[in-house]
Amino acid sequence: MNADPMLPARYLVADTRRETHDSVSLRIVPAGEPLPAFRPGQFTMLYRQGVGEIAISVSGDPSAADGSLTQTIRDVGAVSRALCRCEPGDIVGVRGPFGTGWDLESAAGHDLVVVAGGVGLAPLRPVVLGALARRAEFGRVVVITGARNPREFLFREQLAGWADDPRLEVTLTIDQPAAHWHGQVGFVTEPLARQETEPARTIAFLCGPEPMMRFSAEALMARQIPAASIRLSLERNMKCGVGLCGHCQLGPLLICRDGPIVDYETAQPLLAVREL
């Protein structure tokens, strides 16, 4: 095990997969000692030699036993661009996994409502895969995912498979009408508001742009689902990943340590303040 949290472990890029025009999934395998297994919701610090390091959530199957990690990166800056351009055989540095997880275990016996916006589906895929792997432990599994247009959905083939899977209730929605789109149009909050949920037995998992998560959480609370049953994945600037550098503060929280998964009871008053 890599005991120094500041020192990256060498991983080899095994496969790359272009998800959308600006997003790529990398499957990476240890070139030396593997890092500890990740819990859904956790992130790693991914380093591209000579460019830099950023926090990226783990998007792969939590049951993968080969020590590989799958991470989905959206090209929004210098480091993410360099990572998106990785090719099989390239070496990347990885630290982690860090942070809190979605804690799917504690949701056993509940209905799951998974709400994702855009690239926010990446850290939620392990939740859906984890729930499918132990499907009998959960009640309904509702997946609502939105994108700007049909080409912006991550994991499109898998989503098509999920849509046909009777064990899941999947809704895909896009922001604007588009040619050849026969699904929903509108924000995720619309299909979410139509869900017949049982407040006491529902646990929600949200990831996407902050306003989308806030509106989704409010829509759930309007259906009497308690804030404590709504879990969000938050994002702030991360440098160390282990609570030492101070960058990722959101009020009392160090998002790398106390998050990224935080319940809405904690997050609600913090997200309501501008520039906190």
Q: Which residues bind other proteins (CB under 8 A)?
A: 4-10, 32, 47, 49-53, 76-77, 80, 93, 235-237, 239-240, 242-247, 249, 251-254, 257, 273-276
CB of 163 to other proteins, least distance (A): 30
Rounded to an integer, what distance in angstroms lies between the CA atom of residue 110 and that of residue 67?
Answer: 30
> Shortest distance, CB of residue 9 to other proteins, whole angstroms?
8
* Backbone phi and psi for residue 134, each to the nearest 5 degrees, phi listed first: -130, 50
Closer CB to other proteins, residue 5 or residue 226?
Answer: 5
Are 8 and 94 contacting, i.e. CB atoms less than 8 angstroms apart?
yes
Does residue 69 contact residue 34 with C-beta atoms inside 8 Å? no
Closest separation in Å from C-beta 10 to other proteins? 5
CB of 33 to other proteins, least distance (A): 10
Query: What is the nearest approach in angstroms of other proteins to the Cβ of residue 90?
Result: 12
Of residues 249 and 268, the one with the C-beta less far from other proteins: 249
**DSSP assignment string, 105-172:** GGGTTSEEEEEEEGGGHHHHHHHHHHHHHTGGG-S-EEEEEEESSGGG-SSHHHHHHHHT-TT-EEEE
Q: Kindly report the number of other CB atoms within 10 A of residue 238's CB atom.
A: 23
97 upstream amide cis, omega within 30 of 0: yes
Q: Which is nearer to other proteins, 76 or 222 (CB)?
A: 76
